Amino acid sequence: MQKISTLVALLSITFASSSVYAQNNIQSDVKDPMRIVIQKEVSASMVKRIVSAPDEETRLKGLDGLIQNYGPWVTLNNNDEIFRMYITSYLIQTGHDSEAAWLVQTGAAEPWMTYRFGDGVANDFILAASSGASKYIEAILEKSPERVNTPLVITLDGQKALPLAILASKDYENVEEYDNLLLLLLKSGANPHQKMDSGVSPMIIASSGNNSSFVSVTQSFLDGQLSTPKGMFSNTALTADEMLEMQAIADAWIEKPDDEKNSYDYDKLYNLWIKMIIKGYNLPADLMYSELKNREQFDINAKSIGGVSPLMAVSLSSSYGGNVEYGKLLIDRGADPTVLVDVNIGENDIIKVNLIQLALRNDSYKVVALYIVNNVNFSTLPDEPNALILTQAIEQKAYKSAAVIKEALREFIEKSGLAN
């Protein structure tokens, strides 16, 4: 009974700092297992008997059969109170995260499960993070990677937090396998600088809370991305909401009859294509490209009605680091990354900038790296040959882009022999 009491207490924990997490009043998003009609209750002892089997195959088959016959909710009794816990939560808490991971991988259990538990909210990710259950976290990231930058509901009144923001809390710094948990999220595309509704990011939470491990591991990972091609030319993962919106736009376009697509106004379609690139919605963007490329007036370097070309859109993308994947695709298809862009800086005062300079606006460092390897000038300003682009990057606080440019300059100097 004491063990169950401890379990109830652990899963009922909520975050104390309401200043860090925004309120969205979406209590309906949280499942209430006590409202689910169940034919026969699954007791903790039933699960315990299954997982005590000596061989793994028997344990896994037993759990799968249990879910198929009775459902995934485990009933707990504590001082005459009844609680229902999701089976993966129970397995994680009782030290069987490998079995919980297997259930997610096979589709027998849902990943990222959030539900009402007592007077609070239970979440499998939070429970796994608290327990250092890296196998389970790895499984849910593989199953639904788009959720890595999607806030989780953490309280009944609708407070939300990014998965990485949860690990940024000082309370998690000493959990088992902390560094490994962080790296799993970062390698899956978690954005440490993504701001939540409250205006704070995981990095801000870690810095203000003096979580030095988070800052150190995250910064080392980002530095590694800047100095190696791995991860540099891959887009940061979209959130679950963005994935749904992107898929809805793509589905709507696919469902349009061919004659309707063929008669679609060219300028309007080109403008829409540019918008999709800026948002990082590459699936519908490429569907629209397939229609545009067959039009006689199509020019992959042309500007939209709003004055933005496809590669300019890549540079200005809202995707963290820029829409580098589509940028690479455009260059492979013939888009010219060395083109200069006219920028109005005042009344009748126009200067020419290259696409690297344009990418500095959002610190699209991945796109900056892409342009550098495609022979865009990364040393001096087009209109001012004595001024460095690196200086401009620092002045605009595009520090990640500055790091990329600095590394490229270092390599150029070494290869040219100017350092001797």
pLDDT tens-digit readout, 202-245: 888 888 888 888 888 887 787 666 555 556 777 877 777 788 88
- Residue 1 pLDDT level (bands cut at 50, 70, 90): very low
Summarised one tens digit per residue, pLDDT across range 85-142 is: 999 999 999 999 999 999 999 999 999 988 888 888 888 999 999 989 999 999 999 9
Residue 384 CB neighbours (<10 A): 11
Looking at domain 240-416, its CATH class is: mainly alpha
Task: Give me the residue label for tokens 């788009």.
Answer: 146
Q: What is the pLDDT of residue 215?
A: 86
Which segment, 188-197, 365-374, 382-391, is predicted with the most confidence on average?
365-374
Summarised one tens digit per residue, pLDDT across range 4-17 is: 343 334 334 333 33
Q: Which of 254, 249, 295, 255 is nearest to 272 (CA)?
A: 249
Compute the distance between CA of residue 389 and CA of residue 44 in angstroms, rounded to an integer: 63
Give residue 330's identity as a one-letter amino acid code.
Answer: L
Asked if 126 and 120 touch (Cβ cutoff 8 Å), the reply is no
pTM of the full structure: 0.59
**Has residue 19 got a pLDDT over 60?**
no
Q: What is the mean pLDDT of residues 270-281?
A: 93
Q: What is the pLDDT of residue 271?
A: 92
**Has residue 294 got a pLDDT over 80?**
yes
Same fold? 2-226, 240-416 = yes
Q: Which of 107, 87, 95 is nearest to 3 (CA)?
A: 95
Q: What is the pLDDT of residue 403?
A: 86
Q: What is the pLDDT of residue 101?
A: 93
Summarised one tens digit per residue, pLDDT across range 147-164 is: 888 888 887 667 788 999
Q: What is the pLDDT of residue 225?
A: 62
Residues 6+ apart with CB under 8 A from 84: 33, 34, 36, 73, 74, 75, 76, 117
Q: What is the mean pLDDT of residues 321-345?
A: 90
Q: What is the pLDDT of residue 239?
A: 73
Which segment, 30-34, 307-311, 396-400, is predicted with the most confidence on average?
307-311
* DSSP H or E run through 201: none
- Residue 20 pLDDT level (bands cut at 50, 70, 90): very low
Residues 6+ apart with CB under 8 A from 395: none
**Has residue 184 got a pLDDT over 80?**
yes
- Residue 385 pLDDT level (bands cut at 50, 70, 90): confident
Q: What is the pLDDT of residue 89?
A: 92
Fold of 2-226: 1.25.40
Asked if 352 and 383 touch (Cβ cutoff 8 Å), the reply is yes
Residue 41 CB neighbours (<10 A): 14
For residues 98, 99, 102 and 104, what is the CA-based torsion angle, rounded to 10 degrees? -100
Percent of all residues in the chain with a pLDDT value above 90, rounded to a whole number: 36
Compute the distance between CA of residue 276 and CA of residue 317 in angstroms, rounded to an integer: 9
Q: For the chain, first and last CA: distance in Å?
A: 74
Compute the distance between CA of residue 156 and CA of residue 228 in angstroms, rounded to an integer: 43
Compute the distance between CA of residue 363 and CA of residue 373 in angstroms, rounded to an integer: 17
Asked if 132 and 25 touch (Cβ cutoff 8 Å), the reply is no
Q: What is the pLDDT of residue 347?
A: 67
Per-chain mean pLDDT for the chain:
83
Residue ranges per structural domain of the chain: 2-226, 240-416
- Residue 2 pLDDT level (bands cut at 50, 70, 90): very low
- Residue 198 pLDDT level (bands cut at 50, 70, 90): confident
**Has residue 18 got a pLDDT over 50?**
no
Residue 43 tokens, joined = 């007791």
Compute the distance between CA of residue 34 and CA of residue 24 in angstroms, rounded to an integer: 23
Partners of 84 in the beta sheet?
A: 75
